[in-house]
Amino acid sequence: MPVTGERTINADHAALIRRIFAEFSDGVSPKAIARRLNAEHIPGPRGKPWRDTAIRGHRTRGTGLLNNELYIGRLIWNRLRYIKDPESGRRVSRLNPREQWIITEVPEMRVVNDALWARVKRRQGEIDATPRVQAIKETRFWEKKRTTHLLTGLLRCGCCGGGFAAVGKDYLACSAARKLGTCTQRRSFKRNELEAAVLNLLRERLMRPDAVAAFVTSVSREMNAGRAEEGAIRARLEAERRQVTRRLDGLYDAIADGLRTAGLKTKLEDLEARLGMIDTKLAAPAPSPVRLHPRLSEIYRRKVEELSATLTDPEIRPMALETIRGLIQSVTIHETDSGVRIDLEGAITALVGLAQPGADAVINAGSVKVVAGVGFEPTTFRL
């Protein structure tokens, strides 16, 4: 898509922009337009699939294709400023006062005539005036902090790899299937049933004895490989120390025999400095061995059970929620011929850290992962 700063707009892009404006003014919704464009395999902004938000945007902020005044030959600078939200740490936009906007006429960028622009603005006004939209605005939902659920941001579609989004109040579904029409996995799932299935996976499958045994073997192999490399480095340092010591002894003997030169003094200082550096490295204690509790899976299962119980307590829930979410890398939902499969990928460092505090200090967080899967039916879970 054309961007601010270009002197002309490609003819094909201009035709596409006019088509979108015309379809919207004729009553087609941004979501339906996005679906049509994706079905026709027309690339969206930055080459990605079209989303209705890219078309609809925000009227006041001037975002979205339908609100871009560049298409009527008007370039606006300094409409928005960006600040860092102190709570979330995210970069957020704020609208500047209109008198601070810098408006420049760029007639060579115009691709939409005034009549079509006016039709679009008239339809946007009609939509804003509907009782449904007015009721939504009265709630001022944008001022309310969104609720973080157990699986917020963690769900993945097994068909397209995209994320899941809320569908109504209590259901979740593939965002690409519902909003873009680019995925065939359209089934929705009750949030509480998915959360119950994931908690069961965390408690019963992710740290089962055979999984823990495999993990211990993997960690031991990795740590032994690291120990072997550390041993080889130490052996090289010890060999170099013997060599430096012999050379120093020779220099000391030469000095004792009366040899005095500027070069000899410099060499002696360099060798003594190197010897000190080697001794410092050799004096460092070897890493402590990894010791995992023999009842690791049992301890972990009990702690997950305790955390799950606290999710109903409004005072403790936020802390317990974040702890459980920290155990999960991703949850992938697959539709299969025999039903639905849930694959949960856990961060083994966090898993072991929950059952054995301190273990994560000696285990590489990205080195080992564990995956558990479970079959899923509308009301039951096959374990």
DSSP string, 208-267: -HHHHHHHHHHHHHHHHHHHHHHHHHHHHHHHHHHHHHHHHHHHHHHHHTT---HHHHHH
State the pLDDT at residue 33: 94
State the pLDDT at residue 369: 46
In single-letter form, the type of residue at position 125 comes to G
**Residue spans of the chain under pLDDT 70:** 1-8, 86-89, 141-147, 206-228, 286-297, 348-350, 352-383
State the pLDDT at residue 5: 42
Q: How big is the chain, counted in residues?
A: 383
pTM > 0.85: yes or no: no
Q: What angle do CA 163, 169, 174 make, to 5 degrees?
A: 20
d(CA 155, CA 161): 9
State the pLDDT at residue 2: 41
- For residue range 99-151, list pLDDT tens digits in order: 999 999 999 999 999 999 999 999 999 999 999 888 877 877 666 666 678 88
Nearest-Å Rg of the Cα atoms of the chain is 32
3-state helix, strand, coil in the chain (%, to 5): 50, 15, 30
What are the backbone angles phi and psi of residue 340, rounded to the nearest 5°? -130, 140
For residue 144, how many other CB atoms are within 10 A of its CB? Answer: 8
What are the backbone angles phi and psi of residue 82, rounded to the nearest 5°? -120, 135
State the pLDDT at residue 377: 43
Collect all residues with Cβ–Cβ distance below 8 Å to 39 and sequence separation of at least 6: 181
Collect all residues with Cβ–Cβ distance below 8 Å to 365 and sequence separation of at least 6: 347, 349, 350
What single-letter DSSP state applies at residue 163? B
> Which of 329, 330, 368 has the alpha carbon at shortest distance from 349?
368
